[in-house]
Structure 1
Amino acid sequence: MTGVAIVLSCVLGLAVGSFLNVVVWRVPRGESVVRPASHCPRCEHVVRSRDNIPVVSWLLLRGRCRDCGEPISPRYPAVELGTAIAFGLVAWWIGWSVLLPAYLYLAAISVCLSLIDLDVRRLPDAIVLPSWIVAPALLGLAAVAEGDGAAMLRALAGAAAVGLFFLVAAIAYPAGMGLGDVKLSPVLGLYLGYVGWGAVVVGMFGAFLLGAIVGVAVLVVTRDPKAGIPFGPWMIVGTWIGLVVGQSLFGSYLSLLG
C-alpha cells in the first residue's frame, strides 16, 4: 500500500505544484488565485488546457508561449516536479496513513511559503493564517482516527510553546525576526509537538542553526553587514528535520548525557 500512496502522492504533487506556481506569483501581489485564468504576461492569451499539463507542457512547448514565443521560466516545471518529489517522499516516510493528508498539506505550504519568502521576504497572512485552522483540523482528525488524544494535546502545547518563544524573540530582537515568522511558528510547533518534544527541540535548534550558517555565508560572500536573509525557509527546513529525525536525535543526545 505504501507504493500506491507514493504514486498517488506524486501525481497529486504535480497538480498541486502547478497551483502553487499561481499562488507564489499572485498572492504576494494581492491578486486572486482563481481569476483571471492563467495567461501569458506578454500577449495575454489564456493558457490552453493542453498547455497546462504539469512539466510535460513546458517540455513540449520548449519553454515558450505557444502564441507569442515569450520564454516561460524553468522555475514553473521545477516547482511542479519538486512538489511531486516532496509529496512522494512524504508518502514514503508516512506510508498509507491517516496522517498523510496533514503532512502533504505541510509539504505544500512549505514549498510556497519558502519560495515567497525568498522572493519578497514575506510570509503572507493569506497562506499562514488559514493554516492555523487547516493544520489542527487535519492532525485532529488523524488523532481521533488513531485514538491518540495525547498526541494532539502535545501538538497544541508545542504550538503554544514555539509560538511564545518566537513572539518573545521578535520583541527582544525585532530586526532579526519578522512578524510573519511569528505567525508561522505555531503551525510548525503544532506538527513538531504531535511527533514529540524531542522533535520540537531539534526542529527549532535546527532552524536557528541553519539560519545562522546561511547568514554567515551570505555575510562572507556579500561583505554587507546589512544583507539579511529570510528566516522562513530555514524554519521550515528545521521543522522537517525535527519531524523526520528529531525524536531519535534527541534520544541519542539524552543517552550520551546519561
Structure 2
Amino acid sequence: MTALDVAALVLVGLLGLAVGSFLTIVVHRVPRGEPLGGLPGACPACGRRILARDAVPVHSWLLLRGRCRHCGAAIPRRYPAIELATAALFVLVAAVMGGGGIGGASGGGTGLPWAVPAFLYLAAISVALAVIDADTRTLPNRIVLPAYSVSLALLAAASAGSGDWGALVRALAGAAILFVFYLALALAYPSGMGFGDVKLAGVLGLFLGWLGWGPLVLGAVAAFVLGGVFSLVLLATGRVGRKSGIPFGPWMLAGAWVGALFGTVLWDRYLALVGFA
C-alpha cells in the first residue's frame, strides 16, 4: 500500500466521521418525526445550543468527557460509537472495493471502484437503520424508501462507469428476489417478520445482486444464521423468552455485508466443491 493509498483511506475515514456525526442526528430525529435540517443541534437535557467546537466527531465527546458543556448531562456513548462505526465501514469499503476485492474477487471485477460511492451510501444507511431498529423495532420509510432511487442511481452510475450493464440487470433481479422472498415470509409468519424488513430486503437485494449471485445467496442466508445465533444466545442467557421478538433489520444488514465481503469467494469455492467450477 502506497502513501497515496494511506492518505486516501485517511480522507475516507474523516468523511465517515463527518457522516457518522450527521447520523447521530438522524437516529435521534427520524424516529420522532422531526426534520433533519433547519434546527440547530441542542442538548436534550437543557435545550442549550451545541457550540460548533463541541460538534467535532469523537474529539469533542472525549474533550468534554461525555458531558454537556452547559448542564453537565451525560452525552450517550452511542454518539461517538456511531461516528467510529461509520468511519470504519467507510474505510473498509474504500480499502476492499478500491482494490477490486469486495465479494472475495481477487483482482477481478474491474467495475468495483466505480461502485464505491454506492457502497459508502449503503454503509451510512446501514448504521442508521441498525441503530433505529434496535431502539424502536422499526425501519423508517423516511430512510428505506428513498434508498431505492438513490441506490439504483448510484449503481447505474457504477455500471455506466465500468460498462457492466449486466450487473445492473442482476441488481434489479436481486431486489425483486429478496423482496418477494421476504414478502412471502411476512405473509406466512406476520408475527415474526415485519413489512419494514420486506422493504429493506429490496434495497439490500439491489446491492448484493449487483455484486453477483454468490453475494446475494450468502447475504440472504447469513442474515438468518446471524439472527438465529443471536436469538439462541439470548434464550440461553434468559434475556428473552421463547415468544419474545428481536429486531431483524440489524441482522439483515449484517448478513448483507457478509455477502458483500465474502460472497463471491465462498460461492466460487462451493461451486468448485460440487463440481460446477
Q: Same fold (TM over 0.5)?
A: yes
Look up the match of 1:12. Answer: 15
2:249 to 208, 226, 232: 232
Tell me, in whole angstroms, the C-alpha distance in 1 between the residues paired with 2:41 and 2:225.
39
**By how many angstroms is 1:3 displaced?**
2.8
The letter for the 1-side match of 2:241 is: D
**TM-score (normalised: structure 1):** 0.97
Count of aligned positions = 258
Gaps of 5+ in 1: none
Q: 1:59 is paired with a residue of what secondary structure? A: helix
Tell me, in whole angstroms, the C-alpha distance in 1 between the residues paired with 2:178 and 2:63.
46
**By how many angstroms is 1:209 displaced?**
1.0
Q: 2:191 is paired with a residue of what secondary structure? A: helix
2:88 to 65, 68, 85: 85
RMSD (Å), alpha carbons: 1.2
Tell me, in whole angstroms, the C-alpha distance in 2 between the residues paired with 1:149 and 1:247.
19
The letter for the 1-side match of 2:134 is: L
Superposed CA deviations along residues 150-171 of structure 1, whole A, max 9, x for unmatched, are 1111111111111111111111
Tell me, in whole angstroms, the C-alpha distance in 1 between the residues paired with 2:63 and 2:226.
38
The letter for the 2-side match of 1:64 is: R
Look up the match of 2:155. Answer: 139
Q: Is the 8 A contact 1:17 1:81 kept in 2?
A: yes
Look up the match of 1:50. Answer: 53
The letter for the 2-side match of 1:183 is: K
Q: Which sits farther off after the overlay, 132-141 or 68-77? A: 68-77
**By how many angstroms is 1:249 displaced?**
0.6
Tell me, in whole angstroms, the C-alpha distance in 2 between the residues paired with 1:128 and 1:186.
9
The letter for the 1-side match of 2:141 is: D
* Pairs within 5 Å for 1:90-109: 90-95=93-98, 97-109=113-125
**By how many angstroms is 1:2 displaced?**
3.6
Q: Which sits farther off after the overlay, 92-101 or 181-190? A: 92-101
The ranges of structure 1 where at least 4 consecutive aligned residues each deviate by more than 6 angstroms after the TM superposition are none
Q: CA 1:153–1:4 in structure 2 vs 1: closer, same or farther (change >3 Å)?
A: farther
Q: 2:114 is paired with a residue of what secondary structure? A: coil
**TM-score (normalised: structure 2):** 0.90
Gaps of 5+ in 2: 100-112
Tell me, in whole angstroms, the C-alpha distance in 1 between the residues paired with 2:74 and 2:138.
27
1:181 to 197, 201, 210: 197
1:26 to 25, 29, 42: 29
Tell me, in whole angstroms, the C-alpha distance in 2 between the residues paired with 1:204 and 1:166.
10
